[in-house]
Amino acid sequence: MTLRSRNRLLHIFSYTSALLFVLSLALFVALFFRNQEPAHFFEISIAKNHFSLPFFQSSFFASILSLFILLLYLPLTGFFLLRNFEKTQAAELIYFTLFLTGIFLQSLRIFVPLFNLYEGYRSILILLSRTFFSGQLLSVLSLWFIPFYSLEDPLQQADKNALIIIVVAVILSFFMPINTQILEASFIYKIGFPQLFSVLKYSLISITAIALVIRGKEHYETKIFLFAFSYLLLIIGSIILGSADSYALCILGSLLLCIGNSFFLKTLHAYYLWK
């Protein structure tokens, strides 16, 4: 992928995500002021039974807020990349763009509450649920490739790896069992064998963080611990915000995502600035 092609795709992604955010927000505001609050017949999470404070309880508007934060994060980060990395040829940026694409796919479930897809649209709900899981896999796998492949034949290898990541994420999400009897607070059907999926997800995250530190020591890169730590904040923040159903989780996920994203891109920019 040439630098021009990458920037063109990043432009398309940034404007598309910005358009989705504006249209979704406008539709939600219109429904709210017309007293047509989107239906929310989702299953309340267990957190409501454990906490008496409203701040920690499951809330429909907290779930909506977390989605809008993700939708706002996407174009802001996309335009930031265009401004600060427009002339930087780095494989890490390709993988990071895939990470953003994964978050975009997860955010498409905003259509469920906006268009009341809870009843009579089972096929669409299944599709959006699988899209959500493929987005999560895409986000985790894309950053997993950074410490292993970004130094070896970066540009050519990154294109091949990007295709592999997309294919693997789509195939795994397609064969992933889904419990259509339970609609969670994140507006998707509950996944089958959630413990197995969590083990796989957090194992990849742990391996990535360790590999980043090892790579830094081998190549004498400075601030590698900050880079690895910012990666953990970034990916964990996106996961929390992607399924947040309370204001507490919404705030926690937003803070982790913003701080991790800031230090992650700042460290990456400094590395290529002095390379």
| 20-75 pLDDT tens trace | 999 999 988 887 777 655 444 444 343 344 455 667 777 888 888 999 999 999 99
The fold of the 3-273 domain, in CATH, is Rhopdopsin 7-helix transmembrane proteins (1.20.1070)
DSSP secondary structure letters along 49-74? HH--SGGGS--HHHHHHHHHHHHHHH
Task: Measure the CA–CA gap between 36 and 223, rounded to whole angstroms.
Answer: 51
| Dihedral sign, Cα of residue 153, residue 156, residue 162, residue 165 | negative
Secondary structure percentages of the chain, helix, strand, coil, to 5:
75, 5, 20
| Rounded alpha-carbon distances, angstroms, from residue 78 to 7, 10, 109, 111, 241 | 10, 7, 20, 22, 18
Confidence of residue 180 (pLDDT cuts 50, 70, 90): confident
| 226-273 pLDDT tens trace | 888 899 999 999 999 988 888 899 999 999 999 999 999 988 887 776
Give 234's contacts (C-beta < 8 A, 6+ positions apart).
143, 256, 257, 260, 261, 264
- pLDDT above 90 covers a percentage of the chain that reads 36
The answer to whether 78 touches 17, Cβ cutoff 8 Å, is: yes
- pLDDT above 70 covers a percentage of the chain that reads 84
Paired residues of 190 in beta bridges: 179
Q: Where are the domains positioned within the chain?
A: 3-273
